[in-house]
Amino acid sequence: MESRNRLDSMTDSNRSNAKGALLALAAFAIFATHDVVVKTLGAFYAPFQIIFFSVLLSFPLATIMLMHDRASGTLRPVHPWWVALRTLATVVTGLSAFYAFTVLPLAQTYAILFTSPLLITVLSIPILGERVGIHRWLAVIAGLAGVLIVLRPGAEPLSLGHAAAVMAALSSSTASVVVRKIGREERSAVLMLYPMVTSFVLMACALPFVYRPMPILHLGGVAVIALFGFAAGLVIIAAYRAGDAAVVAPMQYSQIIWAALYGAVFFGESPDPVTWLGAAVIIASGLYVVLRESLSGRSRTTPVLSTKQRPDTATAPRVPGLTGLPGRRGERVLPTPR
Q: What's the average model confidence in pLDDT over 311-326? A: 54
Rounded CA-CA distance 34/161 in Å is 19
Closest residue by Cα to residue 55 from 79, 91, 96: 91
Q: What's the average model confidence in pLDDT over 275-284? A: 94
Q: What's the average model confidence in pLDDT over 122-141? A: 90
Which helix or strand (DSSP H or E) is residue 91 part of? helix 80-103
> What pLDDT is stored for residue 320 in this prediction?
44
Closest residue by Cα to residue 95 from 179, 56, 38: 38
> What pLDDT is stored for residue 337 in this prediction?
36
Percent of the chain topping pLDDT 90: 53
User: What single-letter amino acid sits at 230?
Assistant: F
pLDDT band at residue 228 under the 50/70/90 scheme? very high
Q: What's the average model confidence in pLDDT over 291-298? A: 75
CB of 47 closer than 8 Å to CB of 168: no
According to DSSP, residue 312 is labeled P
Query: How many residues appear in the chain?
Result: 338
Rounded CA-CA distance 52/57 in Å is 9
> What pLDDT is stored for residue 269 in this prediction?
92
Strand partners, 326: 332
Give the rounded distance of the alpha carbon of 5 from its chain centre: 38
CB of 159 closer than 8 Å to CB of 103: yes
Rounded CA-CA distance 62/65 in Å is 5
pLDDT band at residue 306 under the 50/70/90 scheme? confident
Query: Tell me: the pLDDT tens digits for 41-87?
Result: 999 999 999 999 999 998 888 887 777 777 667 778 888 999 999 99
According to DSSP, residue 161 is labeled H
Read off the pTM. 0.87
pLDDT band at residue 279 under the 50/70/90 scheme? very high
Rounded CA-CA distance 7/237 in Å is 27
Give the rounded distance of the alpha carbon of 149 from its chain centre: 23
Q: What's the average model confidence in pLDDT over 293-317? A: 71
Compute φ and ψ for 272, nearest 5 degrees: -80, 165
